Structures are given as C-alpha cells and as structure tokens.
Amino acid sequence: MQSTPQDSGLEALVRGVLDGDRLSGARLMRLVDDRREGHEQALDALFQHTGRAHVIGLAGSPGCGKSTLADGLIELFRGRGRSVGVVAVDPSSSITGGALLGDRVRMQRHAADDGVFIRSVATRGAVGGLSSSTQDIARIMDAMGRDVVIIETVGVGQDEVEIASVVHTVAVVLSPDTGDAIQIMKAGIIEIGDLFVVNKADRQGADRVAKELALFFQLQSIEHPPAVVETVATSGTGLEALGDALEAHHEHEKPGEQRDRLRAEIKRRIAERAIQRLEHELAEAVETSLDSIEAGRTTPYATVRKLYETFAGGQS
C-alpha cells in the first residue's frame, strides 16, 4: 500500500497543492475530472491535510438564486478574512444550463482575488460519479488551504450530488416562486437541510414561506430547529445573518457527524465502482441473458442470481 505518490510529477503536484499553488490545484482537478492515472494516489496523499475547511452546500431548485448567493457569500467571507473556494456543479443536462455563463460572468469579478478559487464540475464529465468528483474537488481546495468551500448544486434528488455526505453544512435555498414550504416538505428536502434560506425576500410570499417553515419545525417539537434566514441575494440583504448561521452550524457540529459522512462516502464510492464494473464487465452477459429470457429459457431472477454470483464471487 502506497500512501505517497511514487511518480515525481505527482509528488510535485501534491506539494504544489499543499503550498496553495493555484496552477497545481487546477492541474490535479483536471486529473480528477478525467479519472486519470495517479489521481487517487494524489488524493490519498492529500487526505491527511484536509478537514480544516468549512465545506458548505447550497442546494435548491434551478433559478432560486444559489449562484447569486454564492457570489454574495464570497464577498462576505472575504470580508471576514477567509479564503474561499467555490465548486459549481455544471447543470449541463438541465434546462437552465445556459445560466452558467451568467454565473461565471457574475463571479468573474473575483477573478483577480487570489483568495478566491472557482471551479466547475461538469455533470457529463464526472466519470466516477458526480458526488465523488465534487467531493474530490472540494477536498483539493481544502488541502490548498481554503478556509471556506462552497458547493453549488442543483436539486437534491438521487441523481444529483448527495450533498449531505459531502459537506458539513447543507443550506437549502428556497424562493417564493419555487412553490411553498409544504411542497418542499413533500419532496423530502427538509431532512437534508441544516439551515434554510428563503431567497428573493424582495418578492411577495417570502415571509409566508419563512413563517411556514418555522411553524413546521415548531410543530415537530425539534429541540434545535434549523435556522431560517431570509435573503435578497441580489442586494446582499440578509447575507450577514446567513454567514453567521452557517458558521454557527459548523461550530456546533456533533462529533458523530464526521463519521456519518465518511461512512456514507465509503458506501457511495464502493457502489459507484460496482456499477462501473457491472456496466463494463457484465454488459455482454446481460445481453446474452436477455436473449435467453425472451426465448423462455430462463427468468430475470435466475439471471440475477447467476450474474451476481459471477460479479460478487469473482472478485480478486
């Protein structure tokens, strides 16, 4: 077992990342994007130097204002003397994908600031799974010495980044026009939020959504209900309060949470590998079985038993 990269190029890359060198960081992120040889050794070597950054997830429906909030938070945290990394998950397959250009233009104003590092992860390019690539990029930023890492991700569904296993603090962003709080509760988003942001508070209905959320937590008799913060991301209103709430959540993290995240990460990464292997190695066998099933020679159940045996039992 090697925990240090043998290749001197990789070694230099890891050193560069640990020195906070942006070019090294960007190069390693490209290796990670392409799942290129050596990227995992580099991540191995970096791991013990991570865990210092406060990793924040902004999750919410398309257009609710996540990028605008991220942009505002960059400014806020810079003002508090922190260096910031932003990972934007490219919604390359979503309808609002075009908005990304706007995000870049907006956040571009921080480009000259050495304390800000912005990087996107393409949905398409994430060969090993979107959550894992996103987590790897965030870890590299952490190893580079970023104090705060903000991950912007669309939605909270199963196909999206499993945000809770990747970040310390999940901020669920709502806006009055993405439906009322009841809808959100139905969607099961409520469970994953460590705090709730009702953005676009300049619009009608924001107060109502915030009140409904607060009432919901009250009725549930939750001992420490998550904070509900109203913001106007475009003007910066409420951002101080949001920054405070994010920091307060991190300061009061329970000891078991880190372990929970690691457990979820390991299971997720193993599942991702298994699926990849399944797709590569069993594809042909599955096709052959389909012929047999259609010809009435076997059943899906027998096929699964047989192929699972080959798959799980055939591990080296």
Binding site for ligand GTP (CB under 6 A): 62-68, 91, 96, 99, 102-103, 154, 199-200, 202-203, 232-234
The distance of closest approach from Cβ of residue 122 to ligand GTP in the complex, given in angstroms and rounded to an integer, is 14
Q: Round to whole Å and give the CA distance between 190 and 196.
A: 9
Q: Distance between alpha carbon 113 and the CA centroid of its chain, in Å?
A: 24
Q: Which helix (H) or strand (E) holds 211?
A: helix 206-219
The binder of 51, among ligand GTP, Mg ion, none, by C-beta within 5 to 8 A per type, is: none
Interface with Mg ion, residue 67, by CB under 5 A:
yes
**Burial tier of 94 (Cβ tally within 10 Å: 0-12, 13-18, 19+):** middle
The distance of closest approach from Cβ of residue 238 to ligand GTP in the complex, given in angstroms and rounded to an integer, is 9
The binder of 214, among Mg ion, ligand GTP, none, by C-beta within 5 to 8 A per type, is: none
Interface with Mg ion, residue 120, by CB under 5 A:
no
187 three-state secondary structure = coil
The distance of closest approach from Cβ of residue 296 to ligand GTP in the complex, given in angstroms and rounded to an integer, is 48
Record the tokens describing residue 84, joined without a space: 């910031």
The distance of closest approach from Cβ of residue 307 to ligand GTP in the complex, given in angstroms and rounded to an integer, is 39
Record the tokens describing residue 171, joined without a space: 């901020």
Whether residue 156 contacts residue 191, with contact meaning beta carbons closer than 8 Å, is answered with: no
Residues 143-172 that bind Mg ion (CB under 5 A): none
The distance of closest approach from Cβ of residue 270 to ligand GTP in the complex, given in angstroms and rounded to an integer, is 30
Interface with Mg ion, residue 199, by CB under 5 A:
no
Record the tokens describing residue 186, joined without a space: 């139905």
DSSP category for residue 7:
S
Nearer to ligand GTP, 49 or 119 (CB): 119
Residues that bind Mg ion (CB under 5 A): 66-67, 103
